[in-house]
A and B are shown apart, each in its own frame.
Chain A
């Protein structure tokens, strides 16, 4: 069953010269996929992810997440939709700087109005799953980039989303942190069937992806499925 589907998706930026950042993309992502979207700078990776994540509006075409055509949702409806269906991992981690690791993870569940017991139990479980059980009370400014990105993954998973969108998640990480993060995400994908959709330039991420979609000039030029050992 596809959890993400796009049909003839287009995004044009109208400047002096109109630019088709996304140009007729038809795509289906199945539950449990571990997919990387790759391509050169300006190929439309981030724009495609932003539209799929409900952060940006397409100029044309449709995006379905499950049965919901999110192209039809208002901005306010999209906020609720994102909260309950999409987990985001950003290149710059983007944790809330005044909250601790534990509070950052708990925060999205608070927005979902989950009970205190449920929030605390899931926060503990997720922080342990990303190997940060001992850093729960640290604020982002007291954590390394790798640690912050792991908190971001825990935060993205906290609301039990339909899928996780990760925009260049390893771009700011060293090799060891990248390896750790990929291990954690691959583990979550394999054991809990969490769906991940990345945009990346990073060969280490591409090497771990079971599906690699290549974009050029806003169009899919290659869609490759692979069997990866220990992914």
Chain B
């Protein structure tokens, strides 16, 4: 009957209840939109820089990550790939041999990043074919290169032109050769467009005098949240004296730090929004207590304990908060999914800023249900905190004084 009383009490002042619920509803919607946009952009950043380039997890020669040069490459021994691929959460394994090189046309030279790659597997991870804007995609045995379109532009190169690559090979070998440009690539990141040179793996290993050697095995996993487990499992299966296993959170510490700092900012903004709403709820709760003093006095007089009275009042506020959150969620879920599939495109000015940070200029909403759950728990927690003072007032009710009110 206490539940029944709480429910009916809620609708005694239906207009006021509706206004309070509407304010919570909009707070939830705005908070869900803000947080989903934030998390959506983080997903995009991680996808752009991690999933679609580095891979969520990598295996290197032990010590490579701290000293990234060609002598610290791993030897792709028989059985290594099979051991890694045997892990149920590893979807794809992509071998790479990377090295900084000098790209030269003779009079014109620029720094570049050579990537020796497996064309088929690299495409499966990075969707490299989709980034080809001119020319042809390389096969595994081709002797040619694909370069970032800005590198070609700066060096005044076109498809069919020859580019000389110079650098240091394995164990101090001099590496230089010339390759025809067969394709131009366009990445989301301007930096990649200015630097990247792709050469089929076997040819790159030959160029760098590093047969069967790799800088990394990059891998795609079933889910970004399993990387810790994958790293831990692979560390038990691989010789950690020879290999190091790292996930993106270790390799992209700067990105992770940026996300965490930015997320904290977003959460603070969200809480500021909720604090504003909290005053509205607090006002409603205080009014509910003060205008029902007489009634509380009567109820205590006939034998209702103050804690039962407080429980009814708390139930009223929890009902109101739950209904608002539920309504917010019912609207928020389709909103998340709609804007996830139809991301908001940013204008030209904003697009330039985003692209400078290697992020596509779109705002997709994350569909993470955790965001909605967070709003629900935040509103409920806030309700409990707000109710402390009104409930204290209930415990202070003296029936005879209340009935004189």
Q: Is A34 an interface residue (CB 8 A)?
A: no
Q: Which of A98, A108, A110 touches B8 (beta carbons < 8 Å)?
A: A98
**Within the assembled complex, what's the spacing in Å between the Cα atoms of A212 and B304?**
32
**Within the assembled complex, what's the spacing in Å between the Cα atoms of A97 and B403?**
15
Q: Is A168 an interface residue (CB 8 A)?
A: no
Instruction: Give every chain A residue within 8 A of B298 (Cβ-Cβ).
Output: 90, 94, 96
From B1, B300, B305, residue with most partner A Cβ within 10 Å: B1
Do A110 and B300 touch (CB < 8 A)? no
The total of chain B residues at the interface (CB under 8 A) is 21
Do A55 and B301 touch (CB < 8 A)? yes
Instruction: Give every chain B residue within 8 A of A88 (Cβ-Cβ).
Output: 301-302
Do B1 and A107 touch (CB < 8 A)? yes
Taking the closest CB of chain B, its distance from the CB of A79, in whole angstroms, is 6
Q: Which of A53, A76, A106, A159 touches B1 (beta carbons < 8 Å)?
A: A106
Do A82 and B301 touch (CB < 8 A)? yes
The contact string, 1 if C-beta is below 8 Å from chain B, for chain A 155-174, is: 10001000000000000000
Do A55 and B399 touch (CB < 8 A)? yes
Do B5 and A96 touch (CB < 8 A)? yes
Minimum CB distance partner of A106 in chain B: B1
Taking the closest CB of chain A, its distance from the CB of B237, in whole angstroms, is 62
Q: Looking at chain A's contact residues, is the secondary structure mostly helix, strand, loop, or mixed?
A: helix
Do B9 and A98 touch (CB < 8 A)? yes
Minimum CB distance partner of A98 in chain B: B8
Q: Which of B12, B302, B303, B403 touches A98 (beta carbons < 8 Å)?
A: B12
Instruction: Give every chain A residue within 8 A of B4 (Cβ-Cβ).
Output: 98-99, 103
Taking the closest CB of chain B, its distance from the CB of A86, in whole angstroms, is 8
Residues of A at under 8 Å CB distance from B?
Answer: 50, 53, 55-56, 75-76, 79-80, 82-84, 88, 90, 94, 96-99, 103, 106-108, 110-112, 155, 159
7 examples of A-B residue contacts, CB within 8 angstroms? A55-B403, A75-B398, A96-B299, A97-B12, A99-B8, A103-B1, A108-B303
16 more contacts with CB within 8 A, not counting A55-B400, A82-B303, A96-B298, are: A50-B400, A53-B301, A55-B403, A56-B400, A76-B305, A76-B306, A88-B301, A94-B295, A94-B298, A96-B295, A97-B295, A98-B9, A99-B8, A107-B1, A108-B302, A111-B308
Residues of B at under 8 Å CB distance from A?
Answer: 1, 4-5, 8-9, 12, 295, 298-306, 308, 398-400, 403
